[in-house]
């Protein structure tokens, strides 16, 4: 697979929306963030459709990476399912999906001198 998916935390819907709008200025970006009101496979797959300006990716592969993560990381999924209890509809659980090569380059650039 050329894409990776990971659950990264929770935030307010307003913070998520503002950050997502800044990120989406670049259609050639290597990552996108998904927000969901529920920590479920269906919730994250549905959130793919909510990305207003989708990069030019193979979105079937992106969904495949979400399913693969769900099947291979039961412990992490259970953690978030048990700890994500939004008090109101103002909080979302956030995941990152991206091209593996772009994320690798971004990570490596953090260590360049």
Q: pLDDT tens across 32-73, in order?
A: 899 999 999 999 999 999 887 778 889 999 999 999 999 999
Three-state SS sequence of the chain? CCEEEEEEEEEEHHHHHHHHHHHCCCCCCCEEEEEECCCCHHHHHHHHCCCCCCCCCCHHHHHHHHHHHHHHCHHHHHHHHHHCCCCCCCEEEEEEEEEHHHHHHHHHHCCCC
Structural domains of the chain, count = 1
Q: What is the pTM of this model?
A: 0.83
The pLDDT value given to residue 95: 95
With a pLDDT cut of 70, the percent of the chain lying above it is 85
Can you give the residue range of the structural domain that contains 98?
3-109
């Amino acid at each position: 697979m050329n894409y990776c998916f990971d659950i990264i935390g929770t935030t307010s819907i307003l913070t998520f929306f503002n950050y997502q709008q800044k990120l989406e200025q670049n259609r050639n970006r290597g990552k996108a963030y998904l927000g969901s009101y529920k920590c479920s496979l269906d919730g994250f797959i549905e959130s793919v459709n909510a990305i207003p300006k989708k990069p030019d990716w193979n979105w079937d592969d992106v969904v495949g990476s979400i399913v693969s993560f769900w099947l291979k990381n039961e412990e992490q999924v259970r953690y978030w399912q048990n700890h994500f209890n939004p008090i109101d509809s103002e909080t979302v659980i956030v995941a990152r999906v991206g091209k593996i090569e772009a994320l690798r380059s971004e990570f490596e650039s953090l260590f360049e001198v």
